[in-house]
Amino acid sequence: MLKDYDVAVVGGGLLGSAIAWGLGRLGKKVVVLDEGDIAKRASRANFALVWVQSKGLGMPAYTGWTMRASETWGRLAAELKDQTGLDVALQQNGGFHLTLGENEFAQRAQLVTRMHNQVGAADYRMEMLSASEVKKMLPLIGPEVSGGSFCPWDGHVNSLRTFRAFHTGLKLFGIEYFPERPVSAIARRGGEFQLSTAQGEIHAGKVVLSAGNANQSLAPMVGLSAPMGPTRGQIVVTERTMPFLPHPLTTIRQTDEGTVMIGDSKEDQLDDRTLNHAVSAVMADRAQRTFPHLARLNVVRTWSGIRVMPQDGFPIYDQSESAPGAFVTCCHSGVTLASNHAFEIARMVAAGALEPELVGAFSARRFDANHAATGSGYY
């Protein structure tokens, strides 16, 4: 039977869109099937950092993979702009994690030391700065700020515009995007994949599962696994104000439109997107202790979103042995890693196999009790 598509991507969030865009860029015939634009989806609710600092404690391969994404994000932004005319407002001049009080400073300093001591962290640049050093770069910090860590690789982007740019690009590449088309079953027969949807079957030579937390139930259909759980995060947004923040922070950033985003909380195992106002209050309080002038701004929006969170917090990239041509991808930093998904993962899927170093580090087999970790640190 003729295959309808070279690749079917299940999930049209940031991961699926980036990978499908990357495949389109390589001339592949691709279809993207999405369950629907439900507000809690992480791709529509995130904080939009392109972030390196403190990523990969306990898994050096993840530090390298994140640094690689940071290095190639500029190329992604430029290609998206060339193709679609959309400027995703990437800014990569370094970012801070600021601390309030001496205890927080000491804890952060310990984390920086642990990151530096980790094997394979040779090029990792993250340093502690005193309050007076921070003040030279961020003059409006308040008296409670005790200092913080700075990493020159860090940055941020307009992530909703990035999402739109990917989707505009998909159209320009001739990729078909079907919203409201959840995949309910996947089978491999006669060398192709058959994906069942309420509107009929889709046939493809390869399948990429990028369905966020739904990967957990889809992956076993193609002999894979994706152990994960939902984590709720909340964001508060203020009215527009004068430019005052030349670098993003882990919890505060000024958008290219002038608003201030305050985030991002983490509540484990919560798949309910009801706002917890007590959490918003703590976030807003810390923000105004960090920058006292924020107390004068009105809050205009707040929301919660559900993170895609593999069980150990590190990405899962895997390929099926029993159903060759099936891949699963999920991670909790889909903005940061978008360039890797668009360039690296798409290239490997097009070639038919993930590179051994990638699978060695990020396969879900690491959750198997009998599996000895084989991460080479290549990335």
Residue number, 67 or 335, with CB nearest to ligand FAD: 335
If one asks whether residue 233 binds ligand FAD (CB under 6 A), the answer comes out as yes
Q: Least distance to ligand FAD from the beta carbon of 326, Å?
A: 14
Please identify, among the stretches 9-17, 71-79, 276-284, 356-364, the one whose residues bind ligand FAD according to the rule CB under 6 A: 9-17
CA–CA dist 157, 81 (Å, integer):
13
If one asks whether residue 167 binds ligand FAD (CB under 6 A), the answer comes out as no
Give the largest CA-CA distance in the chain.
70
CA–CA dist 247, 224 (Å, integer):
40
Q: Least distance to ligand FAD from the beta carbon of 183, Å?
A: 4
Q: DSSP character for 370? A: T
CA–CA dist 221, 223 (Å, integer):
6
If one asks whether residue 24 binds ligand FAD (CB under 6 A), the answer comes out as no
Count the site residues for ligand FAD by CB under 6 A: 42
CA distances (Å), origin 31, targets 19, 53, 208: 11, 35, 10
- Asked if residue 163 lies in contact with residue 14, where contact means CB atoms within 8 angstroms, the answer is yes
Contacts to ligand FAD from residues 51-70, by CB under 6 A = 51
CA–CA dist 60, 68 (Å, integer):
13
If one asks whether residue 331 binds ligand FAD (CB under 6 A), the answer comes out as yes
Kindly give, in sequence order, each residue whose CB lies less than 8 Å from that of residue 105, ignoring residues fewer than 6 positions away.
99, 128, 146, 147, 148
Please identify, among the stretches 32-40, 71-79, 80-88, 125-133, the one whose residues bind ligand FAD according to the rule CB under 6 A: 32-40
Q: Least distance to ligand FAD from the beta carbon of 228, Å?
A: 10
CA–CA dist 19, 34 (Å, integer):
14
If one asks whether residue 34 binds ligand FAD (CB under 6 A), the answer comes out as yes
If one asks whether residue 47 binds ligand FAD (CB under 6 A), the answer comes out as yes
| Given 5, 8, 9, 11, the residue binding ligand FAD (CB under 6 A) | 11
- Positions touching ligand FAD (CB under 6 A) are 10-16, 33-36, 41-43, 45-49, 51, 182-183, 210-212, 214, 218, 233, 235, 263-264, 305-308, 330-336
